[in-house]
Amino acid sequence: MTRFWIGLASALAAAGLAGAAHAQASGGQASAGQAPEAQPQTARVKVETGVLVGEETDRARVFRNIPYAAAPVGPLRWRPPQGAAPWKGERDAAKAGPSCPQPMNADGSPNTGGANGPVSEDCLQLNVYAPKGAKAAPVMVWIHGGSHRTGAGWIYDGSNFARDGVVVVAINYRLGALGWFAHPALTAAAGGEPVGNYGLMDQVAALKWVQRNIAKFGGDPKNVTVFGESAGGMSTLALLATPSARGLYQKAVVQSGLGWFEPKTLADKEKEGAAALAQAGVSATTAEELRALPAETLVAVNAQFGPFTDGRVMTQTATQALARGDFADVPLIIGWNSGEDSLMGPGPLGQAALAQIPPMARVIYTDEAAKGDEALARALFTDRVFGGPARWVAAKAAPGQPAWLYHFSYVATRLRPAVPRAGHAMEIPYVWEYWGRRTPMSLVSDEDRAMATLMHACWVTFAKAGKPRCGAEDWPAYDPAADVLMEFGLESGLRAGFRKSRLDAVQAATLPGLGLN
């Protein structure tokens, strides 16, 4: 089974792991169940670098485009984030800032990460949604998805979290070859500085900014929850394994964030980086030449982007850290969706992929195999890349601070005639209780709203008190012996031994190849 999932996962990572479902959660001002708001009023706050002028709506005080680090341009490209420069007077914080450089749609529509509009390397900024009159409110820091190549923090409207007493911080971080890139020339020029994981270093810098500044917005720096989906979930797991991030947060939520990662060293990534440049037709070989390249040239570079063991910021994968018990022991929610195979595309799958299905899978996945190879391959992908890792992470975290495991299978009313399962990223609108710019509220049913009320409450109560409370049924912390998770679906509730034989099989086939000994 190992050969099959490695081939699929590698192909998807190279193509861009985040599916178009991210775009459905993209930003704007309309929210679930909300009437049009009154004209926003001006709001001011003073942070370490100066005065911000944002806006106050019916539900939140909102401050956008706040620099948490200096622009990583010129000699600062491919260097750890540096401190943001102070400004004089007042800074306009009512409008969203640019997204980090990434592939954009020519027609101006949101890309697969939900981003559109201007891009700039001067993108290390964040957005804050704070309850009005907040004092020592819980804080949630959102790390967006998008295959570490697309997306932006400004896409996500945290007003309903603020309405419910939570300060939300949504961050940008460097993407693609500007954020997750290693090259021998850059390593040689860096001296003793960390290299490669620039996006992860940005995330740590943003968390440090929160520690220094969030009290100004009414947030409690001692009650911070990091949460993210897809690449953001992968980043959250990486933060659990990153020593420099310890103490910057107290809880974590991982939505469709994988969990089993193949070890890649700095030397491995240097070779990949050099090869990716050559494939893109880039001839630059020195650090100076690389830093002089136009950002557009680097956006076109295609590789497997994301956290890796550079030996300085990350000394082990998140999988290795969890296996060894060497990770931040904080309360954790983790889970996955029933149709993560939406990342494989609408189908049909190619014969080369189907030919790699191992014979043993047909014995274990009898129901799926009876539906044909397409159904079998998709079930294998969802279980190996998302379901099995989520359950394993919950089990590894369970002996310390509690962990809660979930499975999301709810499909919106309007989508059910054509969509059989909950695709990648489809849980986001329910967590945020917000459908974004691309879904008119007239298409959101009462049943959809009820699911959003339920799931959003789980995340809010977890941020406030470290335990999710939602609905009439108590959601117990995960115990590997009992193997109980919460399913959010047409019939939500607790499930014991969910897909146990299948998840056991992919776990047994996968773990030996992840360098855990």
User: Quick one: average pLDDT of 215-244?
Assistant: 98
Closest among 41, 96, 28, 66 to 216, alpha carbons compared: 66
Least confident of 16-25, 291-300, 440-449: 16-25
177 to each of 50, 301, 405, how far by Cα in Å? Answer: 31, 6, 33
Where does the pLDDT of residue 437 fall: very low under 50, low under 70, confident under 90, or very high at 90 and above?
confident
pLDDT at position 36 is 61
pLDDT at position 347 is 86
Question: Is pLDDT at 111 greater than 50 in this prediction?
Answer: yes
| 427/336 Cα distance (integer angstroms) | 9
Structure tokens, 85: 């420069």
* Residue keyed to tokens 């861009």: 16
Say if pTM beats, i.e. exceeds, 0.85.
yes
Contact 332, 404 (CB under 8 A): yes
Catalytic residue IDs: 230, 340, 424
User: Quick one: average pLDDT of 414-442?
Assistant: 93
- For 321-358, the pLDDT digits (tens) are 999 999 999 999 999 999 999 999 998 999 988 998 99
pLDDT at position 353 is 86
Contact 1, 509 (CB under 8 A): yes
- For 182-229, the pLDDT digits (tens) are 999 999 999 999 999 999 999 999 999 999 999 999 999 999 999 999
| 9/276 Cα distance (integer angstroms) | 18
| 413/443 Cα distance (integer angstroms) | 8
pLDDT at position 15 is 37
Q: What are phi and psi of 197, to 5 degrees?
A: -90, 55
| 464/478 Cα distance (integer angstroms) | 19
Question: Is pLDDT at 29 greater than 60 in this prediction?
Answer: no
Question: Quick one: how far is CA 259 from the chain centroid?
Answer: 12
pLDDT at position 54 is 98
67 forms bridges with which residues in the sheet?
125
The overall average pLDDT reported for the chain is: 93
Q: Using H for helix, E for strand and C for coil, what is the string for 302-314?
A: CCCCCCCECCCCC
Least confident of 35-39, 44-48, 210-214, 280-284: 35-39
User: Quick one: average pLDDT of 403-413?
Assistant: 98
**For 57-151, where are the E strands, in sequence order?**
61-67, 90-92, 125-130, 137-143
pLDDT at position 61 is 98
- For 99-110, the pLDDT digits (tens) are 999 999 999 999
Range of the domain at 297: 2-513
Structure tokens, 40: 């926003």
pLDDT at position 115 is 97
pLDDT at position 35 is 52
Give percent of the chain with pLDDT exceeding 70.
93
User: Quick one: average pLDDT of 55-67?
Assistant: 98
Where does the pLDDT of residue 3 fall: very low under 50, low under 70, confident under 90, or very high at 90 and above?
very low
Number of domains in the chain: 1
Q: What is the CATH number of the domain that holds 135?
A: 3.40.50.1820
- For 473-509, the pLDDT digits (tens) are 999 999 999 999 999 999 999 999 999 999 999 999 9
Q: In 337-383, which ranges are continuous DSSP H helix?
A: 351-354, 359-364, 366-370, 373-382
pLDDT at position 288 is 97
Question: Is pLDDT at 439 greater than 90 in this prediction?
Answer: no
| 68/66 Cα distance (integer angstroms) | 6
Residue/partner pairs of 39-47 with CB below 8 Å, 24 or more apart:
40/94, 44/90, 45/216, 45/217, 46/216, 47/213, 47/216
Least confident of 25-29, 178-182, 232-236, 412-416: 25-29
330 to each of 179, 203, 273, 334, 445, how far by Cα in Å? Answer: 27, 18, 34, 12, 36
pLDDT at position 436 is 80
